[in-house]
Amino acid sequence: MNYKASEKRYESMLYQRCGRSGLKLSALSLGLWHNFGSEDVFSNARSILLHAFDKGITHFDLANNYGPVPGSAEETLGKVLKDDLGPYRDELVISTKAGYYMWEGPYGEWGSKKYLVSSLDQSLKRMGLEYVDIFYHHRPDPETPIEETMAALDLIVRQGKALYVGLSNYNAEQTQKAESILRELGTPCLIHQPRYNLFDRWVEDGLLSVLDKRGIGCIPFSPLAQGLLTDRYLKDIPADSRMAKAHFLKESALTDTKRKAILALNEIAQSRDQSLAQMAIAWLLNNHTVTSVLVGASSVQQLDINLKALDNLSFSEQELSKIEAICSPVI
Ligand SMILES: NC(=O)c1ccc[n+]([C@@H]2O[C@H](COP(=O)([O-])OP(=O)(O)OC[C@H]3O[C@@H](n4cnc5c(N)ncnc54)[C@H](OP(=O)(O)O)[C@@H]3O)[C@@H](O)[C@H]2O)c1
């Protein structure tokens, strides 16, 4: 084991309280959805994780199905914990989720107690952990009674397998219902993880105010719209980009309207001495309901660029209204 964390790791990061809880999260968190699977280069994944921690990112976000192959991102983190980050476990907030398809048969997805408890047991094994810090229900289940799903989250905390619980992809109404049940059970809802970025604003239509009123933290995922809100696609589609792989981000996402908006946003970012990615992150952190922004990265360089968003988090009224005018044809 050669890794020793930087002694300066807490010098430049901002830590924000997650809703009305005792837990603070780094303003930037790192997600392992892409680039950390068994089909990716392990040495690159390890470098990104260690660099993130050296720069004060304390929160790593996973799910049972992250890979490819599903489950392998948790194994990658498990390896890095075993060889490098293990001594720093108490400085880390590790989350995982269950909700999407993971294994065959009626108990391998959605929201039953049977699925959630088994899935977390599998995740803990893959990561070599005794507990995760946050366990999420990954998506609402239209068939399982919400009472059962919330009872499963409560049970998992009481079993000591997770410290906190969260919800992902629940709308405002579903979140209110879930939060009330969890509160009654004695396991408060810590955090909500929705898709939220300059181009995708569905959370502004009710969800953010529910989170605010109920004291739930918010950690937006895909803050860079999977790379659209960066300089990646300003000219063409680079061969090593997510869009070129066409796995989750397809060329059809880059419409003419979006391309125009990206170019115009890039100009505003430049006038702020920021890259487009930095401005997109800063714009989210400018919202007081947002606890942490959950970025992805395929290289240490990208992560470094994103970390510098923290150097300029404030916006003038004029900048904000220009941004709104540019984004309105897209949203
Ligand atoms: N709860 C859910 O349902 C859900 C769903 C999706 C994601 N998530 C979570 O959110 C995390 C982040 O999602 P995401 O990966 O879609 O986030 P994102 O930050 O919007 O996109 C990350 C991608 O953008 C590109 N990128 C990042 N920084 C860049 C930079 N400075 N310059 C140029 N390109 C840059 C890279 O793509 P290239 O590969 O092209 O380099 C990178 O992989 C996931 O890992 C996961 O933990 C949760």
Span from the CA of 226 to the centroid of ligand 1 (angstroms): 5
User: Closest ligand 1 atom to the C-alpha of 238?
Assistant: 40
| In-domain check, residue 22 | yes
Domain containing residue 213: 15-232+278-316
Cα 135 from Cα 262, distance rounded (Å): 34
Spell 22-48 as b/e; 16+ CB within 10 A means b: ebbbbbbbbbbbbbbbeebeeeebbeb
Strand segments, DSSP code E, in the chain are 15-17, 24-26, 28-31, 59-61, 93-98, 132-137, 162-168, 189-193, 217-218, 293-295
Cα 232 from Cα 236, distance rounded (Å): 8
> Strand pairing of 93-98 and 189-193?
unpaired
Model pLDDT, residue 2 = 84
Span from the CA of 107 to the centroid of ligand 1 (angstroms): 29
Cα 251 from Cα 218, distance rounded (Å): 29
| In-domain check, residue 325 | no
| In-domain check, residue 269 | no
Instruction: Give me the average pLDDT of each 10-residue run along the chain (331 residues).
Output: 93 98 98 97 98 98 98 98 98 98 98 98 98 98 98 98 98 98 98 98 98 98 98 93 90 93 98 98 98 98 98 98 96 85
For residue 327, what is the enclosing H or E element? helix 317-327
| In-domain check, residue 160 | yes
Indicate the number of domains in the chain.
Answer: 1
Span from the CA of 228 to the centroid of ligand 1 (angstroms): 10
Instruction: Please state the length of the chain.
Output: 331
| In-domain check, residue 2 | no
| In-domain check, residue 246 | no
Residue 254: count of CB within 10 angstroms of its CB: 15
Task: Tell me the residue type at 22.
Answer: G
Model pLDDT, residue 1 = 61
Peptide bond into 329 cis (omega under 30): no
Query: What CATH number corresponds to the domain at position 38?
Result: 3.20.20.100
Give the residue whose CA is nearest to atom 30 of ligand 1. 302
| In-domain check, residue 163 | yes
Ligand 1: residues within 6 Å at CB?
31-35, 61, 138, 168-169, 193, 221-227, 230-232, 241-242, 277, 294-298, 302, 305-306
| In-domain check, residue 55 | yes
